[in-house]
Structure 1
Amino acid sequence: MKFLRNLLASIFGTLIALGIIFMLFILIASAITESEKITVKKNSVLEIRLNTKIKDYAPKSDDPFENIFGLSDAKMGLNEIVNAIENAKSDTNIKGISLYMLGINGGIAQTQAIRNVLLDFKESGKFINAYADFYDQKTYYLSSVADSVFVNPFGGVDFKGLSSEVLYFKDIEDKTGVKMEVIRHGKYKSAVEPFLYNKMSDNNREQITSFLKSIWNQMLVDISKSRNKTIDELNNVADNLLARNSSLAIENAMVDGKIYLDEYTDKLKLAIGISTDDNLNKITLQDYISTGKGRLRSSASNKIAVIYAQGEILYGEGDENYIGQDLIINALRKASDDKNVKAIVLRVNSPGGSALASELIWREMELANNKLPIVVSMGNVAASGGYYIACNADRIFAEPTTITGSIGVFGMIPNIHKLSDNIGINAEQVSTNTGANYSVFEPMTDAFRAVTTEGVEQVYTTFLERVAKGRGMLVKEVDSVAQGRVWSGIEALENGLVDELGNLDDAVLYAAELAEVTDYKVRNYPNYKFDFEDKFNSFPFMKSKEKILIEELGEEYYNMYQSLKQLSKVKGIQARLPFVLNIK
């Protein structure tokens, strides 16, 4: 008994000592953080790098462990980026902006939103300069807004037009005996096309060509205004790769000079009126945001709620990376029950997913709209289920480069009957009833296919009805622009799927008009919970799973892994963007 008491005392003593050491560590880390408080010095240049992952909404956790141990994945919120640039416009300590391009880890619509706020920044009379060792098309699109665009002498501009690639798996299915059983509605609903054919269908090629051209034309319009070049001249540069090196880029007026980084730094010094021998005060965008400049402050009591729905739609709770009906429904209820909230803006950045979760969110949108005006703002993508949850708003805003539409549904189930036969596996089933059942080891029966087809058709019909009601259209009118077809924001405006081209700020302003308020502040939703167990599951290396996988696989293969992982979670009938879209 004495031994047991001593053992327990030792264990408790050790735990208490570890707890005290841990708390001391927290206090020391907090003290270090306080001592390194960032300030904006006079005559500073705001340096913008966008190679960190950009999300529409990326709030910092209130949990101290996450910030101290670096457990969260590196990310920036588009809302904070836009607010910071707006604040810099009137900040007397900021003399200009330097776009130091190392790639943009965000979508084209997000890039366009940042570009637009930079255009507004220029109205202050402050300068914007841009530099890169090499420009890809997205970084050049953003950088073209600058007063002067510089490139490394050994660099160039990869300006060649937009393209998109889709992989097809029909031949490998035939060879391995592993296939996907597919049921869909929508001749353009090509999410499942790679499992049915070994090449792109005419319908799919038509829709991809259409929205790529629409997005490209919008980029050309913006670049032509900033660089004082005609659209024909820009297309000629793209067709003949006339900016592929620094000399050609200068000759064709795509950049203003080829210099090294140290020479570019000297130009920044001269731009703010100091000698090249003086030190240049630079503050990064992330540091500028950390000083509180990522928020627009207001003492108003009235609020416009902005609810961010970002990621694929999966049935369940939801978090920062995917949309679950629970998270969005709770946010809608909190906003609509708050007496100070006068209107709601739903910011959608989603390719869709679960039709059931989309329907549940749609229903809550209806209920919230009985209390408050609701406006939708579309980001990079608001397609299929992402459009489903948006269609009943009072007004829908899309960026010109938004990918939207894709009103269609499909069901997809794996089948390994041929493989199991080839390797000698026989599956026998015993059932108490005669209802249609399915086994991955047996061919799909006609009865099961009929039942599943009925479900797909029912969801598609409901989808059309939801859109028709929300958009004030006839069902047949919706069907004519549906069939799973994907549209750009500009095309969606033309066919009545959105009401206006504009960004999130435009949507917020319109929501305020509907609510008849002029003095208000924005309240962001939802509040993401800190999952202690999930964050520490990579202990003791203190890294998130994403960081580890990116380090091991590289960014490209990590994205492929994510696509396969999401595919494994697909359950039930889907209202989802037709394919994994990677425009480059």
Structure 2
Amino acid sequence: MKFLKSLLAAILGSFIALGLLFLLTIGMIGALMPAEETVTVAPSSILKIDLGASIGEQTVSDPLDFSSFVPYAGSTSSIGILDAVKAIDYAATDPAIKFIYLTNCGASNSIAYREELRSALERFRTSGKPVIAYGDNFSFGSYYLASVADKIYADEFAMNNILGVSTTIIFLKDILDRFGVEMQLIRHGKYKSAGEQFIASDISDANREQNQAMVDALWDAAAVSICKSREISPEDLDRMVNNLELNTAQDMVDAGLVDGLLTVNGIEQELVTLSGAKNLKDVKMITLDKYIKARIRTNFKAKDKIAIIYADGQINPNGSDGITEEVFQPIIRDLRADSTVKAVVLRVNSPGGSVQPAEIIRTELELLQQEKPLIVSYGTMAASGGYWISAGADKIYSNSTTLTGSIGVFSMLPSLEKTFKDIAHVNPVTVRSHRHADMGSMTRKLDRQEVAAFQEQVEMIYDHFINIVAEGRGLTPERVDEIAQGRVWCGSEALGIDLVNEIGGLKDAVDYAAVSAGLEDYRIEAWPKAKNSLDKLMEGLNTAGAAVETFSDPEQLMESLFQSVKAEKGIYARVPYIYYFE
């Protein structure tokens, strides 16, 4: 055992040494690289927006991003959705920008980001400046964004996958049965289907009803915009998609969804013509990331601030990943105490998670709201626990395609009793002082009294959830219960049942926060700070030492795995689904 520990320690030490050498090399390369260039915007420039570029919640400038000088290396930097929208809005009145060129229109990005970008591009078009789009492939989601353009061009061999919206649920009960694993699910909510795939072999009627309504609503939210932009009827679009009539690029032209087919050389010549240049070399083009550097700058002279708290990820009881009380509680307290922070925008992009940290975070936000405006913006998903922490805000903005609601609660515990007996052929023996001392230990199923105890907890927490929403949204508990039951709603539906106040994006929420606080001159602060690859590498090195003891001791390793599974017991407010636009 000592030899194994020594061996693993030596291996770990070697990795740490290599990591430090890697960091030193990066530092040397950074020192040799030229200072960041000063970006200028030439007159009559085209603003090029590559939809293949990474769009995220926050802008991340990664010092380990080698994509600019390493062929085929993907970028680890990203453009924050707020910066992207602000840049498009600025370009509308910028005399140096002649028009916007959308390229790589077949790329995949969050549907919520596409919606916020599309709204910004619609505002840009009202300035009288055109938007031109070019795609070598189209999916439904990518075409939804491209359809805002004045002219849409496609490669003559473009692959078109405009198929609709789908979600796939994998039911695991049969395979879990083969391994003797029995999941015990305790829940409240007719539509609270989180965990259903572990206890059933097929979808329930309520779950199918919910998912069908959701994919239909998401389709409608995007299809309405497409049909309006391209002047076609929703019925015609439905027919073409159902019958696979949009199979080739020429089909898209014939259907009025694309204005023309061009090769890469052809679209370049089109840009030359539209810009009024003599040839391609004379065309002035600036990419979105460089335009942001040139035009979207923080006003450090402004004393007053609007803070944006990015609640991005699952709500977890501990750790630094996702949304945790140990990270968010001190941030919220500091912002409440900071007199220069005049308003706070909570940006939620979360499927929910553990109840206890969600309630701690909600309580801290409630205290903050007593002293300054709290405005909420929903991203791709703000469901269950994500809705829990934000329901009491002064105003909630949601995208039409945001998944929200899912007001329900569940608890799920695995029993490995059959696994131990029939598969592993081991006999766990428990000695206990009281009848239920080993409740939830996974070595046996819950008995009726224990199930009733868990159900009582679930019911208590569901009632608390209902009251949070009722108080925050100005509804009766009875009305909230009607629209709750764990059901997921898209943003456009949530508006109609008073779960949100207005359809809009992050910039809309920031603008409203400024008005609420009476601010004209302010700067934006983002919390928590975005992590780049270097930050994540350092975190990995800091936690690597603890892994040596665990992995060098088989007993400790088994105990660690057992405890990690056991820790999954608890009560959750979480939504389990992802919807794909194809």
TM-score range, shorter chain: 0.7 to 0.9
Read off the aligned partner of 1:488 and give its amino acid letter: C
How far 1:78 moved relative to its partner? Answer: 0.9
Is the 1:409–1:575 contact (alpha carbons within 8 Å) kept by the matching residues of 2? yes
Counterparts of 1:530 and 1:145 in 2: how far apart (Å)? 32
Aligned to 1:162: 165
Instruction: Flag the 1:39–1:262 CA change in 2: closer, same or farther, 3 A.
Output: same
How many residue pairs get aligned? The number is: 536
Counterpart CA distance in 2 for 1:367 and 1:77 is 28
Cα deviation 1:524-546 (Å, max 9, x = unaligned): 2223577968505889xxxxxxx
Q: Counterpart amino acid of 1:56? A: E
**Counterparts of 2:150 and 2:158, CA distance in 1:** 19
Decide whether the 8 Å contact of 1:318 with 1:325 is kept in 2.
Answer: no
Shift of the 20–201 alpha-carbon distance from structure 1 to 2, 3 Å rule, reads closer
Deviates more, 1:160-169 or 1:34-43: 34-43
1:156–1:249 CA contact under 8 A, matched in 2: no
Q: AA paired with 2:398?
A: A
SS in 1 for 2:194: helix
* CA shift for structure 1 position 431: 1.3
Counterpart CA distance in 2 for 1:101 and 1:569 is 44
Structure 1 position 310, deviation (Å): 0.8
Deviates more, 1:494-503 or 1:368-377: 494-503
Alignment of 1:182-193 (within 5 A): 182-193=185-196
Pairing 1:459–2:457 present: no
Which whole-Å CA distance do the structure 1 matches of 2:26 and 2:61 have between them?
21
TM-score, scaled to structure 1? 0.84
Match of 2:10 in 1: none
Residue 14 of structure 2 corresponds to which residue in structure 1? Answer: none
Aligned-pair identity (%): 36
Q: Is the aligned partner of 1:392 residue 2:395?
A: no
Computed over aligned residues only, the root mean square deviation of the Cα atoms, in angstroms, reads: 3.0
Residue number in structure 1 paired with 2:205? 202
Of the candidates 554, 557, 573, which is equivalent to residue 571 of structure 2? Answer: 573
Quote the offset at 1:65 in angstroms. Answer: 7.0
In the alignment, structure 1 residue 517 sits paired with structure 2 residue 515: no
Shift in Å, 1:462: 1.2
**Aligned-pair CA distance for 1:53:** 3.9
**Alpha carbons 1:119, 1:145 under 8 Å: kept:** yes
Q: Which moved more, 1:26-35 or 1:498-507?
A: 26-35
Contact 1:184 1:410 in 2 (8 A): yes
Contact 2:39–2:294 (8 Å) recurs in 1: no
> Secondary structure of the residue that 1:428 maps to in structure 2?
coil
**In structure 1, what residue type is equivalent to 2:487?**
R
Superposed displacement of residue 582, structure 1: 4.0
Alignment partner, residue 471 of structure 1? 473
2-side partners of 1:283 and 1:362: how far apart?
Answer: 42
Distance 1:19 1:57, change over 3 A: closer
Indicate the residue corresponding to 1:127 in structure 2.
Answer: 130
Matched residue type, 1:203: A
SS of residue matched to 1:505: helix
Aligned to 2:16: none
Find the residue that maps to 2:85 and give its secondary structure.
helix
Distance 1:523 1:277, change over 3 A: closer
- CA shift, 1:135, in A, is 0.4
Change (3 A) 1:410 1:580: farther
Alignment pair present for 1:446 and 2:460: no
Q: Is 1:238–2:241 an aligned residue pair?
A: yes
Alpha-carbon distance in structure 2 between the residues aligned to 1:200 and 1:525: 40
Once residues 20 and 439 of structure 1 are traced to their aligned partners in structure 2, the CA distance between those partners, rounded to angstroms, is 45
Alignment partner, residue 33 of structure 2:
32
Between the aligned partners of 2:36 and 2:220, the Cα distance in structure 1 is 49
Query: SS state of the match for residue 187, structure 1?
Result: coil
Q: What is the one-letter code of the residue matched to 1:394?
A: D
**1:259 aligned onto 2:262:** yes
CA contact (8 A) 1:309 1:323 kept: yes
Measure how far apart 1:192 and its partner are.
0.9
Whether 1:306 aligns to 2:308 is yes
CA contact (8 A) 1:384 1:576 kept: yes
Residues 160 and 237 in structure 1, CA contact (< 8 A), matched pair in contact too: no
In 2, Cα distance between equivalents of 1:282 and 1:117 = 20
Partner of 2:9: none
Unmatched 5+ stretches in structure 1: 1-17, 540-565
- What is residue 55 of structure 1 aligned with on the other side? 56
How far residue 79 of structure 1 moved from its aligned partner, in angstroms, is 1.3
Letter in 1 for 2:420: S
Question: Letter of the aligned partner of 1:139 in structure 2?
Answer: S
Quick one: structure 1 residues 405 and 141, their matched pair in 2 at CA, closer, same or farther if it must change by over 3 Å? same
The Cα shift of 1:144 comes to: 0.5
Matches within 5 A, 1:408-557: 408-423=408-423, 424-436=425-437, 437-528=439-530, 534-536=536-538
Q: Equivalents in 1 of 2:20, 2:256: separation in Å?
A: 63
Residue 174 (structure 1) shift: 2.3
Q: Which amino acid aligns with 2:379?
A: G
Equivalent position of 1:115 in the other structure: 118
Asked if the contact 2:65/2:77 (under 8 Å) is kept, the reply is: no
Shift in Å, 1:241: 2.3
Instruction: Quote the Cα distance in structure 2 between the aligned partners of 1:77 and 1:21.
Output: 28
